[in-house]
Chain A
Amino acid sequence: MIEYSRDKKGVDGYRTVCKACAAAHNKAWYQGNRQRVMDRVSQWQASHPDKAIQYKRNYIEAHPDRRAESLAKHKPSPDAIARAKEKRQAPAYKAQAKARREAYRDGLHDCYVRRLLAQKTSLKGSDMPAALVEAKRLQLMIERECREQSI
C-alpha cells in the first residue's frame, strides 16, 4: 500500500505526492544544495552556541553507539596527538587555558559544573545527564549567593 502524508489543504486531506517520492525528491534537493544547508546550520550554531551544544549533548546521550563509531572513525594520527601535546606545554597556552578555566568557574559554565559532578567518580563530565547538571548549577548559585550575603 502506498503511503501519503496528511495535508489539511489537500482535496482529500492528503498530499498529492507519496512519502517515497517526497523522500526521494528531498534527498535529491539536499544533494544539490548540501553546502547551502551546511552553511545555514553553521550560521545558526554560531548564533545559538548554547542550544547547539545542548542538541549535540542530547544526541550523544540518546545514541552512545554512534558516538563511539564516530570517534573511532575520526581518531587523530599519533603525529597530530604529539603536536597537540607539545602545543599544550607552551607557557602562553597554559596562561590562556588558566584564564579560560577561571572564566568557566566564575560563570558556572557547563563544562565546569560537569567536571565538578564527575569528580571522585569513574565518569566523565559529558556522561552526566543534563537535568543533573542544571540542578547542580542552581545549587552552586545558591551557595555562592549565601556566601556573598554572609560577608
Chain B
Amino acid sequence: MNKASELRDQLARVFEELRSGAIKPGEAAELANLAGKMIASAKVQVEYYALRKEAPDISFLKDDK
C-alpha cells in the first residue's frame, strides 16, 4: 500500500466487511489503528514541507487515478 488512494480503498473494504460481519471488531480496530499511524506519518511530511515553505512532494499522497 504505497498510495493514499490504496489506503482509502482498503479502509472502505474493511468498513464494509465490518458491517457485514465478515471480520471481527477487534481485527478492524487493529487495521484502523495501523491506518491511523500511516496517516500520522503522512501528516508529519505535510507539516515538514509547510514549515519549509516548499511545495509538498509526497509520493504517498500523489494520486495515480
Listed in ascending order, the chain A residues whose CB lies under 8 Å from chain B are: 117, 121-123, 127-129, 131-132, 134-136, 138-139, 141-143, 145-146, 149-150
Binary flags per residue of B36-65, CB closer than 8 Å to A gives 1, else 0: 101100110011001100001000010100
Instruction: Tell me the interface secondary structure of chain A in the complex.
Output: helix
21 cross-chain CB contacts under 8 A: A117-B43, A122-B51, A123-B46, A127-B46, A129-B46, A131-B8, A132-B43, A132-B46, A134-B4, A135-B38, A135-B39, A138-B15, A138-B35, A139-B35, A142-B11, A142-B14, A142-B28, A145-B15, A146-B32, A149-B18, A150-B25
- Greatest chain B CB density within 10 A among A143, A146, A150 is at A146
A12 to B35, CA, bound (A): 55
Known: A122-B51, A131-B5. A143 touches B11 (CB 8 A): no
Known: A135-B8, A139-B36. 4 other contacts (CB 8 A): A117-B43, A135-B11, A139-B39, A146-B28
CB-CB under 8 A from B51, the residues of chain A are 122
Contact, CB under 8 Å: B31 / A131: no
Contact, CB under 8 Å: B32 / A134: no
B1 CB to nearest chain A CB (Å) = 11
CB-CB under 8 A from B47, the residues of chain A are 121-123
CB-CB under 8 A from A143, the residues of chain B are 29, 32
A117 to B45, CA, bound (A): 13
A149 to B41, CA, bound (A): 29
- Greatest chain B CB density within 10 A among A136, A139, A150 is at A139
Contact, CB under 8 Å: B18 / A132: no
Contact, CB under 8 Å: B8 / A138: yes
Contact, CB under 8 Å: A145 / B18: yes
